[in-house]
Amino acid sequence: MMRRTVTFDLGSRKYKFTTTDPQKEVEETMNEIREEFKGYLNVVDKYGYDRVFLMMLLNNVHEKLTLKQRIGDLTKKLEEKD
């Protein structure tokens, strides 16, 4: 796949990154981030972008770990039924 640079507008800032991911995946990812970021717009001025990004990252990692645990629990239940 071809590497390309993508510009990502978030709030009043622009970020650039390089990716080989398909355009559809990039757009879906950026849209998810924008939607989540909207929930923090009221505190960006108070805490700044870095802290808001940290809060978003912590929430995402927590959600990922929770989902991983749930999948593990469900897998265990399915294996016990066999």
**Mean pLDDT by groups of 10 residues along the chain of 82 residues:** 93 95 96 95 94 96 97 93 76
Give the pLDDT confidence score for residue 43 in this predicted structure: 94
C-alpha 64/C-alpha 6 separation (Å) is 25
Q: In sequence order, which ranges of 1-82 are alpha helices (DSSP H)?
A: 23-38, 41-81
Structure tokens at 7: 């510009």
**For residue 4, what pLDDT is reported?**
96
Handedness of CA 27, 29, 33, 35 (dihedral sign): positive
Going by the DSSP 8-state scheme, the letter that residue 21 receives in this structure is S
Question: What ranges do the domains of the chain cover?
Answer: 1-38, 44-82
* Cβ pair 6, 26 in contact under 8 A: yes
Q: Across the strands, what pairs with 25?
A: none
